[in-house]
Amino acid sequence: MGQHMARHLARNGVLCAVSNRTHRKAADLADELAVEPVIDIADLSRLCTFVVSCVSADADVLEIATSLARHAPPGFVLVDSSTIAPATARRCAEILREVGADFVDAPVSGGVEGARNGSLSVMVGGESVTVDRVRPLLRSFATRVTHMGPVGNGQATKAVNQVLVAGIAQGVCEGLALGDALGLDRENLLATLGAGAAGCWFLERRGASMLEGRFDTGFKSSLLHKDLGIVADLAAVAGTGATIVEQSRKDYAALVAAGHGDEDISALIRIKRGRE
């Protein structure tokens, strides 16, 4: 996703450098986009006023914030599009604000397709003045940018998003597994379901591919499993129900253990068919 987002930033003329823990990836993308490849992340705050990060884990974002704070001048902003805990986002803001810089949590929804097409939805947490400064960057790869409140609220919103994503995947995968087991015509089934109250993005974009056993595109099952751990902690503190979250954590843990962690979350149909 990060590569696609970088391409949109480049097309809008605001990208000056790229970095990746796999330096070859950074070098190749830098060549493609005619920008500077950076090995030491800390150097990005020397070159850029804004840095957009997209990584997988809380510890990674904390490391990036700490590294950038070493050289960050006043006014520098780290815009993080990863999915992390709200508390981690707030800690990153503290680290950067200590040196006169700032932090915005801006997790995204829309998957790889949304990143490729520049049609992501971004849920943003941060100071209003800082959000206004980075909004043009976010609009480079998003069709909707919503300021949800202070730092951490973007991640809280993403947590709600992931509950819905997991619940929809549960329903669609279980329903299509049943339809297949009953011998219903796949093409007619998808067309009929999509035209009624069951119609949704996940059914439209993943229905056919999951019935064909193709799970090579989209949002990795291992990443949703990681995200649901964050959601479970938030729900426990908030005291809300988490039935979908807990069942989905169990199911996606089983997929990861069976070696399907890199497959799209529609691979859940494997379990619904009783094969994993």
* Token couple for 154: 């973007």
pLDDT one-digit tens code per residue, 229-254: 999 999 999 999 999 999 999 999 99
| Residues 60, 80: Cα–Cα separation, whole Å | 11
* Token couple for 123: 């849920």
User: 24-46: buried (b, 16+ CB within 10 Å) or exposed (e) per residue?
Assistant: eebeebbeebebbbbeebbbbbe
Catalytic, 220? Answer no
pLDDT one-digit tens code per residue, 110-143: 989 999 999 999 999 999 999 999 999 999 999 9
Cα–Cα–Cα angle for 157, 76, 62, rounded to 5 degrees: 55
Do domains 2-149 and 156-272 share one topology? The answer is no
pLDDT reading at 213 higher than 80: yes
More confident residue, 80 or 275: 80
| Residues 193, 208: Cα–Cα separation, whole Å | 12
The half-sphere exposure of 5 on its side-chain side, counting CA atoms within 13 A, is: 27
pLDDT one-digit tens code per residue, 10-30: 999 999 999 999 999 999 999
| Residues 99, 110: Cα–Cα separation, whole Å | 34
Taking the domains of the chain in order of start, what are their residue ranges?
2-149, 156-272
Q: Looking at 25, 158, 220, 226, which residue is catalytic?
A: 158
DSSP state string for 76-119: -EEEE-S---HHHHHHHHHHHHTTT-EEEE--EESHHHHHHHT-
More confident residue, 218 or 53: 53
Residue 184 — very low, low, confident or very high, per pLDDT cuts 50/70/90? very high
| Residues 27, 210: Cα–Cα separation, whole Å | 35
Domain 2-149 has CATH 2.60.120.620: no
What pLDDT is attached to residue 123?
A: 98
Architecture of domain 156-272: Orthogonal Bundle (1.10)
Q: What percent of the chain has pLDDT over 70?
A: 99
